[in-house]
Chain A
Amino acid sequence: MKNPDLIQQMRERAEAVQAIVSIIGTMKDACQYAVAITKKQGGRTVVAAGLKTKEQDYLKNECESSGLRLLEFPLRPHANEIHTSLTIVDGGVAETGTLVLDSTSEDVRIATMLAETHVAVLPALKIKPDTTALENELNAVLKADVPSYTAFITGASRTADIERVLAIGVHGPQELHILIMEENKA
């Protein structure tokens, strides 16, 4: 499958599980998106993981000029106040609209588990058609002799435990936004 088709499939499958998908060009777009969604939802804080120093600085500026706080690591002391978390994920699986995120860092885990809204940047070139295409890569991580915590994330947290009625946002994020980044677009 060609990359545009993968992007399209990724988008459809993710939207089918209530993720909100956009296409962006640069990390700047992503930072602006994270700030805008936080403001819109009445949140006060943003946390970011995996950004380069320059990007992190840009985000900090954006946050400040919008009256938001960019939380710093370690996140444990902030556990109760994370509104938006912005992360760059390590891969995508188009077949199911899944994000792959190395969550070995505790702060990445806290950011993506406790946030109300998770904004995930997915570089378009990292989208794989299915799990088979991902097997070697994931196996390399799993077989390495270091501890690891790897997550597949598909849509927002959900339950159907009461009368089998689907409810979104139980213990994990209530919203998942996926920003597919096509760098050449910029």
Chain B
Amino acid sequence: MIKTAQDMKSYKKQLKEALADKFLRSALDNFNTAYRENRPIVYEGVDFEGLKNEIAAGKDAALPHLIEMFEEFKAKAEAVGAKVHTAKDAREANQIIAAIAKDNRVKKIIKAKSMTAEETFLNDHLEKEGFTVTETDLGEWIIQLRGEGPSHMVMPAIHLSRYQVGDLFAEVTREKQESENIDKLVKVARKQLRPAYLEADMGISGANFAIAESGALGLVTNEGNMRLVTTFPKVHVALVGYDKLIPDLKSMFRILKVLPRNATGQAITSYVTWIKGAVECASSPGSRKEMHIVFLDNGRLALAKDPVFSESLRCIRCGACANVCPIYSKVGGHKYGHVYIGAIGLILTLFYHGRENGRAIVRNCINCQACKEVCPVDIDLPHLIKKTHGVILHQEGKKPVKNFLLSTVMKNRKLFHFILRKAYLAQKPLAGKEPMIRHLPHFFGKEHRFRSVPVISKIPFRDQWQQIRPQVVEPKYNIALFVGCAIDFIYPEQARALLKLLKGRGVQVEFPMDQSCCGLPLLAAAEEETAKDVALQNLRAMHAGSYDYILTLCASCGSHLKHNYLKMFKSDPDAPENLKQFTDKIIDFSSFMANVLNISAKEFKAAPQKVAYHSPCHLCRGLQVTEEPRRLIEIAGYEYVPSKDEDVCCGFGGSYSVDFPEISSEILKKKLDNVQDSDARLLVTDCPGCVIQLRGGMDKRETKIQVRHIAEVIAEALK
């Protein structure tokens, strides 16, 4: 049975157990890396971005016509002997299917893999009604025998080792199994399940596509069991979500170019099958299959009309959003979804399985954007996860104290900054003369001790500004610096490094004093209203019209200002007029130095130091800047040494690392291990948030690897 945590306390307990599962950890970590490494090979010669946009547009165009497409499908399918049913929810779907079974005097049922049947807990229902149900997909069979739910949408038993499977098969066959040999284990399933196909009276499948123009179902599979399930028994029932309706074959072919690639790294699966109507079937009294298709609503039709969440119905269940998720790879699918797993599971659970099951898991997203990047139907998953969190908070009507405080403080910049200044005084005794707090007070709990914590700066950048403000006559560029809280109050030296680098280049920098926090932490806490409030303050403060660029040294601020500001005000009639002008001018440090100022190697002394690079999520995926920082490192005379998984999250995610320190520290550990393996002496990145995490973690290790913001190391290399 699926036991999804319904509160944070039990969720934390479950997470701890998952983190202690050694097999799970190494299997999923390896999978995460292998999947990402294999992707470019799988997509060679295929225009992923182009297809993605076409598919998303196609799905969006079709969604408002679900009912029309359904009617068309129904007419075509019924004309050739299929019976089409509709179910408003899971219970009704299960009842319809049980009734079909009874009408046809069915005893034994075999099933092919169907996430939709998992969604309705169909097996439980049918078994309660007295039917014998046998799953035939290898992974599904394994988890059925174990009484578990799937831990991945494509590979349901990915959480198990061959030895666990071998032991299980030994029990089933009462014969010892050579667990080492996976081929032999697979053959056990082949042999054991063969008789089941011949004995069953009813086969149940899902479908990947319901093609409106022809009334045919499209199914994409590998093992061959679905073909047997739909051939031998006299009855075939296909359980299909309304979201599987597509207008035509062309749409299916388009999706077929990405679905297998994304799901299993194949150009196409072993089998793609189109079933239309009641085909020949010798075991059926009329020699024609009893063919039933049950369309499941369960919230889909309402979702299709939702201006924000309809996007989630584009999902084709490829599973990739879990494959690349750093958190999924740490805790596994049983702790990262309810029935639907991975990023999309954090969203759909609320709609299909209720907020009780969604409320804890929805908080476990670090907003690294990895899922969004690989999603073949262009769902903005991290964004919808936050929106889902917001809906749950709203529905529950009681906000966590943290949200209340955060919201109150952040609305008022002066109060916020006052508190930060006070924090300096409170922290001072903890740090002593050290630049970091190495021993947190005990009330923090030991799970927070995986990193040292930076000290709030004595004089924030904003208080230094009057003294250091450069004066440029006849400037080539006028830029405004958006400094962000971390640099303003913790690392002012990073902004000073920028000023040093800009000297003599004709760049007039201004620091608009009324700028506040970018607002990302508010969005992360699902406080969108206050996030918008803060955004308006910044829009007013920054006077975008007066500058050529608004430069930021913080990748997270940068991508939030550039993309989320637009998103937050998307359908807001009161959206500020200069919004687009503002977002267009946002630029990150590396792009400004490398592309706008075109700084050249001549200005730098050779600093033959080996430098590893951490690519911040919000730079490489958020702002899509990947090449510039690496180029900059080399221009400045350093030797850039690539390390593994450079573009994988560092585990910071702002308050994420405080809310989920156990996971944050595991993600960080892998990151730092990879850097240490690269024999670099210096680790460079372009986000002060990442610096907090990486430097704090490195400080706890016995290594000499320094962690710096890219602006600092580039400035230091100047002749």
A residues engaging B (CB < 8 A)? 13, 17, 74, 76, 79-80, 95-96, 98, 103-106, 109-110, 113-114, 131-132, 135, 138-139, 142-143, 145-165, 167, 169-173
Contacts and interface: CB of A to CB of B under 8 A. Distances in A.
A163 B162 contact: yes
Interface residues of B, number: 67
A170 B273 contact: no
A109 B182 CA distance: 28
B267 A96 contact: yes
Contacts of A159: 138-139, 186, 222-223
Contacts of B182: 162-163, 165, 167
Contacts of A135: 249-250, 253
Given A131-B253, A170-B225, A172-B224, A146 B277 contact: yes
Most chain B beta-carbon contacts within 10 A, residue among A79, A145, A161, A163: A161
Contacts, number: 171
B81 A147 contact: yes
A106 B280 contact: yes
B269 interface: yes
Nearest to B187: A169
B277 A161 contact: no
A152 B268 contact: yes
Contact of A163 (B80, B161, B225): B161
A145 B268 contact: no
Nearest to B81: A147
A161 B279 contact: no
Given A142-B216, A152-B272, A167-B182, A113 B27 contact: no
Nearest to A143: B214
A76 B283 CA distance: 9
Secondary structure type dominating chain A contacts? loop
A109 B274 CA distance: 13
Interface string B513-533: 000000000000000000000
Contacts of B79: 145
Contacts of A173: 224
Contacts of A17: 266, 270
A111 to B, nearest CB: 11
Contacts of B282: 74, 76, 106
B198 interface: yes
A113 B161 contact: no
Query: When A and B form their complex, which 3 residue pairs have the shortest distance between CB atoms, in order from nearest?
Result: A172-B224, A147-B277, A161-B139
B237 to A, nearest CB: 16
Contacts of A158: 222-223, 270
A76 B80 CA distance: 24
Interface in B152-174: 155-158, 160-162, 165
Nearest to B253: A131
B162 A139 contact: no
A153 B157 contact: no
Given A113-B224, A167-B182, A172-B270, A149 B31 contact: no
Contact of A104 (B161, B230, B232, B279): B279
A78 B370 CA distance: 51
Contacts of A147: 80-81, 276-280, 288-289
A105 B280 CA distance: 7
Contacts of A79: 198, 232
B29 interface: no
Contact of B194 (A80, A109, A162, A167): A80
Contact of A157 (B31, B161, B224, B279): B224
Interface in B272-301: 272-283, 288-289
